[in-house]
Amino acid sequence: MVPFVSDPVLFPGSTDLWTTTEKFLSLGCGDEEEHATLLCCWLLSYGIPCCLVLGSALPEGARAAYVLVNLSDGIYLVNPCDGSVYSSTDAMCPLTSVGTIVAPRNVYGNIQTNAHPSQLQFDLTKSSDWKPLFDKEMDDFQSIQSSSIPYPQVSEDALIELRSSIEREIKLRFDEARQFGIPQWNLMASRLLREILQDEQRSPDDRLTRLRESYAVKGQKCQAA
């Protein structure tokens, strides 16, 4: 994830600034709007219908920015800062109010009585629910975003340092969680699993079979918030 830094820290003495996705990645940090804009642009590049949602949330406060994704099985709200996904009907969604939706061809203000997403209708064509900024959709909008983003080559030393710091943090969290039984880390299994992750071309079956011959391997998907 790109580190989070608010605008007053990044640009002291300035007003709230929205940087382009390219500038956001070159700076290597940004706030809610930059994270949400980057995610929205990325989803749109894959043809996934989505919009930028501005409102209030916990713990972000009055300048929260989420991404609304319209899929075949429902409408979802994504917090781009931590990756959490909520159904638009989820009463426990921490996005407490929706004020504005920025769509690719127009901007809409919420004029419904309610503000929490679980109590809203997200049909932007209904003028009784959403007030458009422009009278008609602007098909000739010119985006300030780059059509493609250059990704600079990262040095091998930087990757090794990042990997080591992540591994240290993970081990530390496990050690803290198991105060009465510090885990004994299996270096051989760790090295083998790392090789499998790095080598996407080869099938992992043979190497996993060797590992299972000596150990009972159990896995669980984890999501870091």
Whether residue 124 sits in one domain with residue 75: yes
Whether residue 168 sits in one domain with residue 63: no
Alpha-carbon gap, residue 200 to 107, rounded angstroms: 42
Whether residue 119 sits in one domain with residue 11: yes
Per-residue tens of pLDDT for the chain, all 225 residues? 676 666 555 556 556 677 777 776 766 677 788 888 888 888 888 899 999 999 998 887 888 889 999 998 899 999 988 888 999 998 999 999 999 898 888 899 999 998 999 998 889 888 899 988 888 777 777 776 777 777 777 788 888 888 888 888 888 888 888 777 777 777 777 777 777 777 766 666 777 777 777 777 776 666 554
Please spell the DSSP secondary structure of 58-83, one letter per residue: TTTEEEEEEEEEEETTEEEEE-TTT-
In a domain, 2, yes or no: no
Give residue 209's domain range: 156-214
Q: How many CB atoms lie within 10 A of CB 206?
A: 9
Whether residue 91 sits in one domain with residue 164: no
Residue 157 tokens read as 């030393």
Whether residue 188 sits in one domain with residue 118: no
Nearest to 95 by CA among 66, 75, 120, 69: 66
In a domain, 148, yes or no: no
Whether residue 170 sits in one domain with residue 126: no
Whether residue 103 sits in one domain with residue 17: yes
The total of structural domains in the chain comes to 2
Whether residue 83 sits in one domain with residue 13: yes
Alpha-carbon gap, residue 222 to 174, rounded angstroms: 13
User: pTM for this one?
Assistant: 0.65
In a domain, 223, yes or no: no
